[in-house]
A and B are shown apart, each in its own frame.
Chain A
Amino acid sequence: AQKITQTQPGMFVQEKEAVTLDCTYDTSDQSYGLFWYKQPSSGEMIFLIYQGSYDEQNATEGRYSLNFQKARKSANLVISASQLGDSAMYFCAMRVNTGFQKLVFGTGTRLLVSP
């Protein structure tokens, strides 16, 4: 069964430093997609970045990059130059191939950025 595992319940980082949030996944599918979402305390889910299983390069979106290691089944999110506004919950999710966009989510990592 498809599963996402986020082993870090909480992470702390100082402003302007980089931080890596871990995500491992389990699937027997050859074609899949991995997403990262940010959830501030207000509750909305904000899409950050996407990595397809056949993408040859790691995805990047501004200060966000995805360290995709297919053989290890990991898709870690790297946030460079952390800002106070990055404090939030971060969820890794995997698209399950059921003919539509069904996402399976991990339990999340709470990131706290300190001044």
Chain B
Amino acid sequence: SQTIHQWPATLVQPVGSPLSLECTVEGTSNPNLYWYRQAAGRGLQLLFYSVGIGQISSEVPQNLSASRPQDRQFILSSKKLLLSDSGFYLCAWSDRGQGRSPLHFGNGTRLTVT
């Protein structure tokens, strides 16, 4: 069966420090991969998505970047964190081209920028 791993679960970082969040998927090939952010008490906002290795699309301009070095690995990064980067970050995967296929989410990373 397919599983998605996301780490770390919680992170406290000072303003101006770098960030690296990692997500890996097991049990499937060629998945679509996604990074979402959830601000406190809000819905989910799509940050990045990827349909293949090295193929990254950004939904909103921001201080963050994403990379997909391997088929089932998705990394969210920042060179210098801002206070506004605080939030709950969720990685997700879905099957390719399957309209009925839901997004499957990881357990999330709670990031606090101080």
Which residues of A are in contact with B by a Cβ distance under 8 Å? 4, 31, 33, 35, 37, 42-45, 47, 50, 52, 91, 93, 95, 100-108
**Residue pair A107, B43 in contact (C-beta under 8 Å):** yes
Chain A residues whose CB sits within 8 angstroms of the CB of B95 once the complex forms: 101
Q: Are A95 and B107 touching (Cβ within 8 A)?
A: no
**Does B61 reach chain A (CB closer than 8 Å)?**
no
Please give, as numbers and ranges, the residues of chain A lying within 8 Å of B51 by CB-CB distance: 100
Interface residues of B in 16-62 (CB under 8 A from A): 32, 42-46, 49, 51
Q: Which residues of A contact B107 (CB under 8 A)?
A: 42-44
Task: Determine the main DSSP class of A at the interface with B.
Answer: strand
Quick one: closest B residue to A43, CB to CB?
B108
Known contacts: A43-B88, A91-B44. The answer to whether A101 contacts B110 by CB under 8 A is: no
Q: Are B101 and A101 in contact (CB under 8 A)?
A: yes
| Contact with A102, one of B46, B90, B97, B106 (Cβ below 8 angstroms) | B46
- Tally of contact residues, B, Cβ under 8 A: 27
Cβ contact of A52, chosen from B32, B97, B100, B106, cutoff 8 A: B100
Nearest A residue to B32 by beta-carbon distance?
A: A100
Contacts of A50 in B (CB 8 A): 100, 102
State which of B32, B45, B94, B106 has its C-beta within 8 Å of the C-beta of A44: B106
Closest partner residue, chain A, to B101 (CB atom): A101
Assembly CA distance A50 to B107 (angstroms): 21
Partner among B97, B103, B106, B108 whose Cβ is within 8 Å of the Cβ of A103 = B103
Tell whether B98 is near chain A: CB-to-CB under 8 Å. Answer: yes
Q: Does B5 contact A (CB under 8 A)?
A: no
Q: How far is the CB of A29 from chain B (nearest CB, A)?
A: 12
Residues in A whose Cβ lies below 8 Å from that of B98? 101
Interface residues of B in 73-105 (CB under 8 A from A): 88, 90, 92, 94-105
Select which of A42, A52, A106 is within 8 A of B43 by beta carbon: A106
| Chain B contacts for A101, CB-based, 8 A | 32, 94-95, 98-99, 101, 103
Q: Which residue of A lies closest to B59 (CB)?
A: A102
